[in-house]
Each structure stands twice: as structure tokens, then as C-alpha cells.
Amino acid sequence: MERKDMSAMEVLEAYFEAYRNRDLETIATLCDGDIIYLSPEGLVAEGFEAFSRLIQGEFNSFGVLYEPFLWQSSIEKSGECLLLWKRGVKLARNAAFRRVEIQGSTLLIRSKGIWKIACIQYFVPVSFKSLLSRKK
């Protein structure tokens, strides 16, 4: 599918797939250069360079298996789209999977007929530290 034919939702799905595959090259094509990212840990990255450094650290810390969307809602206008969503995710760390549900919002902007992610934030409704710590 060509980028011009992708809906805002398809761009978000492609982002999650690229994230799962640790594919920064594809992520770069899906995101605006001025992207703002708010991580589940409360860290903020402004601009693609800072964003890519932050998610590279996430890649080095744990693996992610995203499940299909459990819920989604969108507010779409001609040049922008706000997606609100919830999905299951399995985090792999220390040779163990932990399943949680994450919720988030993503703002996409359309420029020259192509949707790009301008802001993405999500949260895990449990302590992120306890989620990633080793169970005894």
C-alpha cells in the first residue's frame, strides 16, 4: 500500500508494527520531524532525533508484542486526526512475558495527502517500574 492511500489508523498500526520490529527507518517515514513523544515513564522527547534516542533505549530494555486494538475512537478533520485507543501488550524482559493493557492518544497531521504522527503518548495503568522488575 502506498503511503498516500493509508488512513490515519493504518499509519498508527504501521507505527506499532515497525516499533515491534525495532525498525527506526520505517518509523521515521511515519512520523513528523517535529514529533512529540510522551513515554509511559513520563519522559518527553521533542523532535525526531530525541524521539529516536528515547525509543532506541526502549528497544534495548524490553521487547513488545502488540495485540489488536481493544477500543478506538477518532476525531478526524481534513488536516488532522486525533486517535484515542486501548490495546493489550505483552512486554518481554528477563525471559518473561507480562501482559498489560495500554491506553493512549495519537495526533496525526496530513500534509500533501500523507498522514504523519505528530504526537503520541500512552500509559500503562500500573507501575512501570514494577512491571519491568524481575519477579522473585
Q: Is residue 37 part of a domain?
A: yes
Query: Could you read off the pLDDT of 46-76 as tens digits, one per residue?
Result: 999 999 999 998 888 888 888 888 889 999 9
Q: Is residue 35 part of a domain?
A: yes
In this structure, what CATH number is given to the domain that contains residue 76?
A: 3.10.450.50
Tally of structural domains, the chain: 1
Q: Is residue 136 part of a domain?
A: no
CA neighbor of 46 nearest in space, from 54, 106, 107: 54
Residue 133 pLDDT > 80, yes or no?
no
Q: Is residue 133 part of a domain?
A: no
Distance from C-alpha of 71 to C-alpha of 84, rounded to nearest angstrom:
8
Helix residue ranges, H only, the chain: 8-20, 24-30, 48-61, 128-132
Q: Is residue 21 part of a domain?
A: yes
Range of the domain at 111: 3-126
Residue 128 pLDDT > 60, yes or no?
no
